[in-house]
Structure 1
Amino acid sequence: MSDDHTHVQEFFTARAAHWDAKFPDDGPAYAAAVAGLGLRAGDRVLDAGCGTGRALPPLRAAVGPSGVVVGADLTQAMLAAATRAGRHRDGRLLLADVAALPLRSASLDAVFAAGLIAHLPRPSDNLRELARVVRPNGTLALFHPIGRAALAARQGRRVTPDDLRAENNLAPLLARSGWRMTSYADEDARFLALAVRVN
């Protein structure tokens, strides 16, 4: 395992047990972001870097009982927290690296990714792997429950021009990785970039 992966695992393992309690009011923001994916009953969707699984209930509600919901995360402690919260009932939990997903190519309709992009060791390659598992014209949502400026302020830092989530950086990054960005919102109350898998 690379140093990048070890660092990510250590970071989230240390925080898993208290993650949901730290951000108790994020539920409506997750539900609104999931709505942006335009999922239909029976769709197949991956929550990439699912953490404690906060997106799994709205994803399950969107695809219904006939749909498939998978939550993949690199950190066992986060998946354990998702199970304790009962979210394993809304989707299959998978201990997996989003850089090498154990999923068939073009097997999904959509990918939801909350807070993921900042933790990707090789963003272009990693987004290309997400594109691999999504059918042509399938969708991707890159989400965070607060915007870039609000998150930077919370962390005591400044937003820098090289931030991958800046619109002028993110659109070409997605384009290099098999996606076309279709909408972009960076507001205090949310960050949400939507993209479509190109043929």
Structure 2
Amino acid sequence: MKSQIDFFNSMADKWDEIIYIDDKKINYALNQLNIKSGDTILDVGTGTGVMIPFLLNKIGKNGEILAVDIAENMLNIAKNKFRFENRVNFLKLDVELEKIEKKFNFIICYCVFPHFKNRVNTIKKLINENLKENGKLLIFHPQSKEDINKIHKDVDDIVAEDKLIDIKTQREIFAKNEIKVIEGIDNNEMYMIIIER
């Protein structure tokens, strides 16, 4: 049976052509975080490195990004794009199952949250193990949850059930698990949750 890793590896070569990138919305989301020069960022599910140029603009010359993904083919494309960029390191890793021995000022989950098998535990793990005190974790999609859910349903059975739920319910689930949401947007333009440690 095809796995999620197989799916994303098979999509890697055409990923940059088919994905939707909205600079304005991405910058809006990142501006809510107040990233400063010299900050460190964990980019979870980096894929082909879509968020990296936006993050590099925020961290100045002394900041650092660790970009992780489960799909080697995706990572290879990202590595190639940023091969001359010494502020970015890449790691093939499953954040749900494996450990990252470092804490960051920010964790970015761009277009990856619905693909987590155990969302609450994964977010808790990232916060507890990898987020510095007062750090922030961003969950962000530059489209509505309805659009995202339809894309996943239509593209492949392997991701058909990887759905976003309404933000009120998601916030309640997080609150029950002592995950502190400080901002949430769920409209026809975007889906965004900001969590603070």
Partner of residue 91, structure 2: 94
| 87 and 52 in structure 1: CA distance in 2 versus 1, 3 angstrom threshold | farther
Out of 17, 26, 38, the residue aligned to residue 42 of structure 1 is 38
Structure 1: give runs of 5+ residues left out of the alignment: 158-162
CA offset at residue 91 of structure 1?
Answer: 1.6
In the alignment, residue 148 of structure 1 is paired with which amino acid?
K
Q: Which moved more, 1:62-71 or 1:183-192?
A: 183-192
| 108 and 16 in structure 1: CA distance in 2 versus 1, 3 angstrom threshold | same
Normalization by structure 1: what TM-score? 0.83
Partner of residue 54, structure 1: 50
SS at match of 2:42: strand
SS at match of 1:195: strand
Out of 139, 142, 146, the residue aligned to residue 139 of structure 2 is 142
CA offset at residue 189 of structure 1?
Answer: 2.6
Q: How many pairs align?
A: 187
SS at match of 1:69: strand
Partner of residue 160, structure 1: none
Question: After TM superposition, which residue ranges in structure 1, 4 or more long, deviate above 6 angstroms?
Answer: none
| 164 and 120 in structure 1: CA distance in 2 versus 1, 3 angstrom threshold | same
Whether the 8 Å CA contact 1:101–1:129 is kept in 2: the answer is: no
CA offset at residue 154 of structure 1?
Answer: 4.1
Normalization by structure 2: what TM-score? 0.84
CA offset at residue 37 of structure 1?
Answer: 1.7
Equivalent residues in 2 for 1:65-144, closer than 5 Å: 65-86=61-82, 89=85, 91-99=88-96, 100-104=98-102, 107-132=103-128, 133-144=130-141
| 63 and 137 in structure 1: CA distance in 2 versus 1, 3 angstrom threshold | same
SS at match of 1:42: coil
Whether the 8 Å CA contact 1:142–1:192 is kept in 2: the answer is: yes
RMSD: 2.4
In the alignment, residue 92 of structure 2 is paired with which amino acid?
L
Partner of residue 148, structure 2: 151
Structure 2: give runs of 5+ residues left out of the alignment: 155-162
Equivalent residues in 2 for 1:156-195, closer than 5 Å: 164-195=164-195
